């Protein structure tokens, strides 16, 4: 038993290992296959670039040879001081340069001095310049073809120089050279997505689609090569050539290599291929991104893993079923195979189409180019009340068109048949066969068959009657909600008015009682002051009524420039009798109360009265030797902060979230609107109100107002 278990265990491990090997092998095969494809593409790209380079060189290769045999050119070398002859040669070179598109043509005597040039009239003229140290001059003077790429000694612009000796009667009198610019080729490379690099025999990059690679070498340049480059000034005054930020990794069986580098600050992995140009002494490197190779490997790994998983699941499922239904399955498969071969295609196609037609809730209608109905589904028939037999073959006007919209529907139908249907569809009212109206949305698209031939137009028709009715009910409900909101606003205004008038009415009552006592005592002077206070409180009650109207229409607010010290002083004066009656001291800390703010004096005064009165109520029944309410005012940059602090029990954390909510109160006889009204007033002034715990016990209500500029 144990041996059987071990054998079974080893079989599972071997199966798993084989699956993993298969997955890895498939990923490697896909990557290698993609790499081979890229190799072919790179070879084609390299061949195209090489053909372009060789074509560019061959296009201008004949110029030095032809110019060296021009009589005036040969004559100028014999008589270099003949000005007229020099002008003719200059003109001849300029004409060749314009005709062939070369960068420049110039004539050098045996001493290396330039006698004539195509750019003789420009500030960067070669005439009079010495090019004795240039390799192309040295080679041509020895009777060889001179070929050299480098930066111009005069212009500083790079180019390819081709030189040919000028022989007169077999004697070399000078050299004709042509300069070809490769910058258009480099600009074309830069527009491509994959970098292309051209380097010389020393390994130095002199043409590149990546600017930061220019004048870098693939390996450290030897001292002898540096001396040769410096003595011939091949790349101007450059004496050092940094090594390219390349890390090369051979790619087996491709002839190329994987290049790990940085392009424009981003890490990239490229597949590269070198192509030597022995006749020019250069090496061309073309590259392409390795992203497709990585993606191919990943896709192959996932697909093979999925295939292996499906295979293993299939094997497992097969083994489980095989144990139970071996005999039944054989008979059933044989019978199903015979039937399936004869009826499968027809039944599947018919069943699938019929199921789609019957299950669609959207009406479908197909018409040919002339507008004849050639197909309708059951949903459309149910929508219009007509059977398919009654609709097929009908042309406009259709029987379900609404009699009141015949012209509109005919116009919409013509727009569709002429190919001007709007993608967002259009709304259409139709008449059901039983006489009721149906509102629909119609969307139309071209009907194209499997061969790509336009056969007509396919329309989907959506019944939106219920949606339209729901929208009408929604609008009616919104009107009702608006009326309910206005009734709620009236109720809140009445509650607000009752709450706000409570303070001045209490003051009127207190002052009236005082006036009656003073009248009984005959204190006429004090009586007059008390009556003045009664008038002031009556005026304040009237102002409160006006301010409550402001809550309904904010444009009626009376805002003016004011100082908070005046508002604080008047509020303290109003509450002085009540504070004295309860033995509570009001401590004022007015450091920055003179800062100007813009607001409504009565509303801000009402906020302070409400906060001080709440603080007074909070300290009722609290043991204290000298209960004190602290009112502080200070400036915080562009804000004025006013705080009212008490030494009461404070506000429990669970109530702090709803302390400013309407109708929330902790007083047995409170309305719960005071703090909500206070915060509304402060926010209407552009400020904010908060509540915090006071150090040592109690609560601190703070509000801020913007300072007037």
How far is the CA of 685 from the CAs of 402, 539, 598, in angstroms?
Answer: 59, 23, 8
Q: Count Cβ atoms within 10 A of the Cβ of residue 611 and give its class: 0-12 exposed, 13-18 middle, 19 or more buried.
A: buried
Residues 283 and 198 sit within 8 Å (Cβ to Cβ): yes
Q: CA-CA distance, 556 to 371, in Å (whole number)? A: 65
- Structure tokens that stand for 683 in this block: 């926010």
Q: Which residues of the chain have pLDDT under 70?
A: 1-5, 27-28, 31, 156, 252, 297, 327, 346, 349-350, 357, 479-511, 514, 516-518, 522-530, 532, 537, 540-557, 623-625, 663-664, 666-673
CA triple 56-57-62, angle to 5 deg: 115
The class of domain 559-706 in CATH terms is: alpha beta
Sign of the dihedral defined by the CA atoms of residues 445, 450, 456, 460, in that order: negative
Tell me the β-bridge partners of 117: 106
CA-based max dimension of the chain: 150
Q: Give the span between the Cα atoms of 284 and 277, in whole angstroms.
A: 7
Tell me the CA distances in angstroms from 247 to 220, 251, 262, 270, 630, one per residue in order: 14, 13, 10, 10, 75
The DSSP bridge pattern shows strands 114-117 and 104-109 to be: antiparallel
CATH topology for the 69-183 domain: Beta-Lactamase (3.30.450)
- Beta partners for 147? 162
Residue 650's CB is within 10 A of a number of other CB atoms, namely 18
From-to residues of CATH 1.10.287 in the chain: 477-548
CA dist., res. 675 & res. 678, Å (int): 5
Please state which architecture CATH assigns to domain 358-469.
2-Layer Sandwich (3.30)
Determine the pLDDT at residue 483: 52
- With beta carbons less than 8 A apart as the criterion, state whether 277 and 288 touch: no
User: For the CA atoms of 226, 232, 235, 237, what is the dihedral angle to 10 degrees?
Assistant: 80
The token pair that represents 184 in the structure block: 């258009």
Q: In angstroms, rounded to a whole number, what is the distance separating the alpha carbons of residues 89 and 126?
A: 13
Q: List where CATH 3.30.450.20 sits in the chain.
A: 69-183, 358-469
| Calpha distance 574→496 (Å, rounded) | 20
Q: 365: closest CA among 277, 445, 469?
A: 445
- Read off φ and ψ for residue 31, nearest 5 degrees: -65, -40
What is the gyration radius of the CA atoms in the chain, in angstroms?
49
Rounded to whole angstroms, how far apart are CA atoms 148 and 162?
Answer: 7
What are the strands, taking DSSP E only, across 40-135? 104-109, 114-117
Strand, helix or coil at 395? coil
CATH code of the domain occupying 477-548:
1.10.287
Instruction: Let me know if 30 is exposed, middle or buried by CB neighbors in 10 A (0-12, 13-18, 19+).
Output: buried
Please give the C-alpha separations between residue 707 and each of 346, 409, 603, 642, 683, in angstroms, as whole numbers. Answer: 85, 65, 17, 12, 14
What does DSSP say about strands 688-693 and 628-636: parallel, antiparallel, or unpaired? unpaired
**Location of each CATH 3.30.565.10 domain in the chain:** 559-706
Query: Peptide bond preceding 397: is omega within 30 degrees of 0, i.e. cis?
Result: yes
Task: Note the pLDDT of residue 214.
Answer: 82
What number of CA atoms fall less than 13 Å from residue 595's CA on the CB side?
21
The pair of three-digit structure tokens given for residue 134, joined into one six-digit string = 């240039």
- 107 close to 116: Cβ distance less than 8 angstroms: yes
In angstroms, the CA 564 to CA 594 distance is: 6
526, two tokens: 């004090």
Q: Please say whether the beta carbons of 319 and 41 come within 8 A.
A: no
């Amino acid at each position: 038993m144990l041996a059987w278990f071990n054998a079974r265990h080893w079989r599972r491990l071997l199966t798993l290992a084989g699956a993993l090997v298969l997955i890895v092998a498939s990923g490697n095969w896909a990557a290698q296959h993609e790499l081979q494809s890229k190799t072919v593409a790179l070879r084609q790209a390299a061949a195209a670039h090489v053909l372009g380079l060789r074509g560019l060189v061959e296009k201008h290769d004949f110029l030095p040879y032809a110019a060296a045999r021009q009589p005036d050119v040969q004559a100028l070398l014999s008589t270099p001081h003949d000005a007229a002859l020099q002008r003719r040669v200059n003109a001849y070179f300029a004409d060749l340069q314009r005709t062939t598109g070369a960068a420049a043509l110039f004539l050098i005597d045996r001493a290396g001095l330039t006698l004539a040039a195509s750019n003789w009239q420009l500030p960067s003229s070669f005439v009079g310049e010495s090019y004795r140290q240039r390799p192309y001059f040295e080679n041509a003077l020895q009777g060889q073809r001179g070929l050299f790429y480098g930066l111009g000694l005069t212009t500083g612009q790079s180019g390819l120089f081709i030189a040919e000796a000028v022989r007169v009667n077999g004697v070399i009198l000078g050299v004709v050279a042509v300069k070809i610019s490769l910058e258009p080729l480099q600009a074309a490379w830069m527009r491509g997505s994959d970098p292309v690099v051209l380097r010389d025999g020393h390994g130095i990059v002199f043409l590149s689609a990546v600017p930061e690679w220019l004048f870098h070498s693939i390996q450290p340049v030897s001292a002898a090569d540096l001396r040769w480059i410096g003595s011939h000034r091949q790349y101007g005054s450059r004496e050092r050539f940094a090594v390219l930020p390349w890390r090369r990794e051979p790619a087996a069986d491709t002839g190329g290599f994987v290049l790990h580098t940085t392009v424009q600050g981003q890490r990239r992995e490229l597949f590269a291929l070198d192509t030597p140009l022995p006749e020019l002494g250069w090496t061309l490197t073309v590259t392409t991104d390795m992203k497709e190779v990585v993606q191919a490997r990943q896709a192959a790994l996932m697909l093979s893993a999925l295939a292996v998983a499906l295979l293993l699941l299939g094997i497992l499922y097969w083994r489980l079923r095989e144990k139970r239904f071996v005999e039944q399955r054989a008979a059933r498969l044989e019978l199903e195979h015979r039937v399936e071969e004869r009826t499968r295609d027809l039944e599947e196609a018919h069943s699938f189409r019929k199921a789609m037609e019957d299950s669609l809730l959207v009406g479908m209608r197909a018409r040919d180019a002339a507008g004849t109905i050639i197909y309708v589904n059951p949903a459309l028939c149910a929508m219009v009340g007509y059977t398919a037999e009654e609709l097929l073959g009908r042309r406009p006007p259709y029987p379900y068109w609404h009699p009141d919209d015949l012209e509109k529907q005919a116009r919409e139908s013509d727009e569709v048949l002429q190919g001007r249907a709007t993608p967002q569809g259009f709304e259409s009212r139709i008449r059901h066969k039983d006489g009721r109206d149906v509102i629909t949305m119609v969307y139309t698209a071209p009907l194209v068959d499997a061969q790509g031939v336009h056969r007509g137009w396919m329309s989907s028709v959506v019944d939106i009657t219920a949606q339209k009715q729901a929208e009408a009910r929604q609008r009616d409900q919104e009107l009702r909600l608006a009326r309910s909101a206005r009734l709620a606003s009236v109720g809140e205004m009445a509650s607000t008015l009752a709450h706000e008038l409570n303070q001045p009415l209490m003051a009127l009552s207190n002052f009236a009682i005082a006036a009656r006592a003073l009248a009984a005592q005959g204190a006429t002077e004090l009586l007059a002051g008390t009556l003045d206070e009664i008038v002031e409180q009556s005026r304040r009650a009237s102002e409160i009524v006006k301010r409550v109207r402001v809550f309904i229409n904010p444009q009626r607010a009376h805002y003016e420039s004011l100082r908070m010290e005046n508002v604080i002083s008047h509020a303290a004066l109003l509450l002085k009798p009540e504070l004295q009656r309860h033995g509570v001291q009001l401590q004022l800390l007015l450091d920055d109360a003179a800062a100007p703010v813009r607001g409504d004096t009565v509303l801000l005064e009402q906020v302070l009265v409400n906060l001080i009165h709440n603080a007074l109520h909070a300290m009722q029944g609290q043991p204290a030797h000298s209960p004190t309410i602290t009112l502080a005012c200070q400036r915080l940059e562009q804000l004025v902060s006013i705080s009212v602090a008490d030494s009461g029990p404070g506000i429990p954390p669970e109530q702090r979230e709803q302390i400013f909510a309407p109708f929330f109160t902790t007083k047995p006889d409170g309305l719960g609107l005071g703090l909500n009204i206070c915060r509304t007033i402060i926010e209407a002034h552009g400020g904010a109100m908060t509540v915090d715990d006071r150090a040592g016990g109690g609560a601190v209500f703070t509000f801020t107002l913007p300072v007037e500029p």
